[in-house]
Amino acid sequence: MAPQLRTGGIDAHNVYDFQQQGWSDAALLQSSAANGRVVVTHNIRDFVALHHTYLAQGRSHAGIVVTPVRTIGTLLTRLITLHETTTVEEMGNTLRFL
């Protein structure tokens, strides 16, 4: 999905681009937070918990988008809409459901 988003001008990457496959959820969020990147995931349970942990600890992240949607076209449309209607500042420390 990241290549399709990049085609549309969105700076998107996946775990393979950064050689992060196999990393724990906590490590992925920590890396994304350090690099100002929003995490998009189907792993709703774990990332909702991580979001709450970050807030409770006073830690910051660039945003987490969780979704049960598996249809690529639908998910791409929703992500593009989110990108076009939400600023970087509005995404920070938020948990969004698509």
The pair of three-digit structure tokens given for residue 16, joined into one six-digit string: 């393979």
Q: Residues of the chain whose pLDDT is less than 50?
A: none
Kindly state the helix (H) or strand (E) to which residue 95 belongs, with its residue range: strand 95-97
SS3 66: strand
What pLDDT, on a 0 to 100 scale, did the predictor assign at position 89? 96
Asked if 68 and 30 touch (Cβ cutoff 8 Å), the reply is: no
**Sequence spans of domains, the chain:** 2-97
pLDDT in tens, 13-33: 989 989 999 999 999 999 999
pTM of the model: 0.93
Main-chain dihedrals φ then ψ at residue 64, nearest 5 degrees: -130, 130
